[in-house]
Amino acid sequence: MGTYKYCCCFSRKFALSEAEPILEVKEAFATYAEGEGLMSPAQFLRFLTERQGDAVATEAEASGVVERIRELRHKHYLIRASRTFLTLEEFHHFLFSAELNPPIRSLVHQDMMAPLSHYYIFTGHNSYLTGNQLSSDSSDVPIINALKRGVRVIELDMWPNSKKKMMLTFSMAVSLLQCLKSIKEYAFVASPYPLVITLEDHLTGDLQAKVAKMVIQTFGDLLYYPKEESMEEFPSPEALKGRIILSTKPPKEYLEMKSQRVMDSGRQKREDVAEEDSWGKEVTDFKSELQIGDKKDEQDKYDENSNDDGDEVDDDDDDDEYNKFQQNAPPEYRNLITIRAGKPKGHLVHALRVEPDKVRRLSLSEQQLETLAVSNGTDIIRFTQKNMLRIYPKGTRVTSSNYNPMLGWMHGAQMVALNMQGHGRSLWLMHGFFRANGGCGYVRKPDFLMKIGPHGEIFNPKNVSTVKTFLKVKVYAGDGWLVDFKRTHFDNYSPPDFYVRVGIAGVPADCKMEKTRIIEDEWCPTWNQEFTFPLMVPELALLRVEVHEYDMSDKDDFAGQTCLPVSELRPGIRCVPLCSRKGIQYKSARLLMGFSFIQA
């Protein structure tokens, strides 16, 4: 029993029940156990193949899972080794186990032999910052945390110190050498696939030479760089496995004063944004941006032409500056760059020009992307079929908030950079998106983003109108909060009143959210509600799941969340583990959910 205070002098007692098998679990057990009280490995295998859609499972594997279930279920008890059958309780334990019955697989399964431009890459922004974008400390700790999470693109800013002898990050609190050493140590702890370091370079030529020496000495054989001056095609993730590559642009020593003026001007224009809600603001809806005409306000004009991120400046003399770079940058520094950034002179749309004999990286702010997506969406996609496109947060995101990454992904942008220092729904989408393909940090882009039709047709997100498939999602039950939270965490006076928000993030036509009913005073709620989502572009869709605790007198409490790639959902009854606001998986809090697909 759980006791809760009531009106100061009184108390109420509630039964603290454990999660029990729901009706559908009991029916499945009875069906495949053929009415007996125990399920054999052969019967369990039939359940896995017929109900869970695991066509490649074998009886030996099923027997191994049975043994593992019994080991986990009864690890504190002595079990006779001769019994190899499952009880209903053990069967229920299997279904509610995130380890044994996850919603997606954890194996790399996509073709990794295509050029890098064919993949989305898990990308961080200002990776060295511990908090906000202007005054927080720099450290290698956020870099290490990002690498442990599977981030494959780390960003470093390089500035000279007052004596112009040492390369430091922007806040002057951590040395470049320290960051490089930490990158080397943790580069491949979460993924064996290539790590990209994007360098925001504000150094003079002599310091660039020192950087080159430092990089070579630190990384040694881990460092990959091309033999040719330019490449017609990027190498593949498989070819670069276990390697570190550099991406940067022409240095800014010739624009040092000009860049500083732009940055100072930008900071005067920046306005802080409010902190996110306790579980994060709703991700920005960009339907209107894709449907209205090409309209720009003053902030758009500023973002289009400013050097807000220390990136390409939209000036007519860019080519001249690049020529100076070629002539004056130390050759050992220039030769280490694998992914070269650059932007042709002229209007922003000219930056999307595809060059037949050269590949490059282009960086755009989130507002520049929104502007181009309105009238030049297909040009963006055509550019990203061969070249790399990096999207970065606008300058007003001083608190390290984030934008909706889906607009970049649906236009083929490989490096959609988010601030990993914070939390919120946009970052949850990022975490969910890169759970795909075994969480290796590289996700193959859908074929429709890489194809050109016989008459030059390119996929256009605004013209999507045909439903490909229907996803049915059933929210059965939840459990584990009483382990992960204090008994009075959600309510001082009674057990929590949980409900679930479930829906889709993807192209605008697929975005939709639903909500279950509220189950009052239950630590182990059962909803047993089903929702159907028509999907036009399931390849880019993410399943959003959030659990909240209803509070009639205040805003609802956060109780867990997760995002999962729809294309990798396993059909059947699955255990869905929940994560904190920062994306860290809880020890026990989880949902029992069902998934099925119906072709349109």
Q: Which residues in 373-402 are b (16+ Cβ under 10 Å) and which e?
A: bbebbbbbbbbbbbbbbbbbbbbbbbbbbb
- Helix (H, G, I), strand (E, B), or coil: what is residue 515? strand
In this prediction, residue 189 carries a pLDDT of 97
In this prediction, residue 8 carries a pLDDT of 59
In a domain, 583, yes or no: yes
In a domain, 433, yes or no: yes
pLDDT tens digits along 417-447:
999 887 899 999 999 999 999 999 999 999 9
Domain identity same for 389 and 509: no
pTM, entire model? 0.87
Domain identity same for 90 and 134: no
Domain identity same for 411 and 544: no
pLDDT tens digits along 161-204:
766 655 555 444 578 889 999 999 999 999 999 999 999 888 88
Q: How far apart are the first and last CA of the chain?
A: 49
Q: Please tell me the chain's helix, strand, coil percentages from 3-state DSSP, rounded to the nearest 5.
A: 30, 25, 45
DSSP assignment of 379-396 equals: HHHHHHTTSEEEEE--TT
Domain identity same for 236 and 357: yes
Side-chain-facing half-sphere of 552: CA atoms under 13 Å: 3
Cα dihedral 129, 130, 135, 137 sign: negative
In this prediction, residue 464 carries a pLDDT of 86
Distances from the Cα of 501 to the Cα of 190, 280, 351, 518, 547, angstroms = 30, 14, 41, 11, 6
Structure tokens that stand for 44 in this block: 């369990």
Structure tokens that stand for 438 in this block: 């075994």
In this prediction, residue 59 carries a pLDDT of 87
In this prediction, residue 431 carries a pLDDT of 97
Any idea what the CATH number is for the domain that residue 586 is in? 2.60.40.150
Give start and end residues of each alpha helix (H) in 446-529: 481-484
Structure tokens that stand for 111 in this block: 């073709």
Domain identity same for 515 and 575: yes
Of 424, 449, 474, which residue sits at a domain end? 449
Domain identity same for 218 and 353: yes
Domain identity same for 439 and 521: no
Q: Are 333 and 199 in contact (CB under 8 A)?
A: no
In a domain, 3, yes or no: no
Q: Which residues contact 329 (CB under 8 A, 6 or more apart)?
A: 205, 208, 250, 251
In a domain, 311, yes or no: no
Cα 468 from Cα 465, distance rounded (Å): 10
pLDDT tens digits along 504-525:
999 999 999 999 999 999 999 9
Domain identity same for 57 and 192: no
Q: Which residues contact 532 (CB under 8 A, 6 or more apart)?
A: 470, 471, 472, 473
Any idea what the CATH number is for the domain that residue 64 is in? 1.10.238
In a domain, 271, yes or no: no
Residue 575: strand pairing partners = 592
In this prediction, residue 6 carries a pLDDT of 61
For tokens 């998934």, what's the residue?
Answer: 595
The percent of residues in the chain predicted with pLDDT above 90, rounded, is 58
**287 phi, psi to nearest 5 deg:** -60, -45
Q: Which residues contact 30 (CB under 8 A, 6 or more apart)?
A: none
CB atoms within 10 A of CB 420: 27
Of 37, 68, 96, which residue sits at a domain end? 96
Domain identity same for 84 and 120: no
For tokens 């003026």, what's the residue?
Answer: 261
Domain identity same for 48 and 88: yes
In this prediction, residue 159 carries a pLDDT of 80
Q: Are 24 and 476 in contact (CB under 8 A)?
A: yes
In a domain, 44, yes or no: yes
Q: Are 228 and 371 in contact (CB under 8 A)?
A: no
Structure tokens that stand for 419 in this block: 């601030």
Of 449, 476, 505, which residue sits at a domain end? 449
Structural domain count, the chain: 3
In a domain, 445, yes or no: yes
In this prediction, residue 352 carries a pLDDT of 93
Cα 408 from Cα 390, distance rounded (Å): 9
In this prediction, residue 255 carries a pLDDT of 41
Domain identity same for 438 and 565: no
Cα angle 491, 492, 497; round to 5: 25
In this prediction, residue 517 carries a pLDDT of 98
Any idea what the CATH number is for the domain that residue 363 is in? 3.20.20.190
In a domain, 300, yes or no: no
Side-chain-facing half-sphere of 144: CA atoms under 13 Å: 9
Cα 180 from Cα 167, distance rounded (Å): 12
- Helix (H, G, I), strand (E, B), or coil: what is residue 462? helix
**63 phi, psi to nearest 5 deg:** -65, -40
Domain identity same for 121 and 174: yes
Residues of the chain with pLDDT under 70: 1-17, 74-83, 134-136, 162-173, 250-330, 344
Cα 367 from Cα 299, distance rounded (Å): 9
Tell me which residue range forms the domain holding 58: 23-96
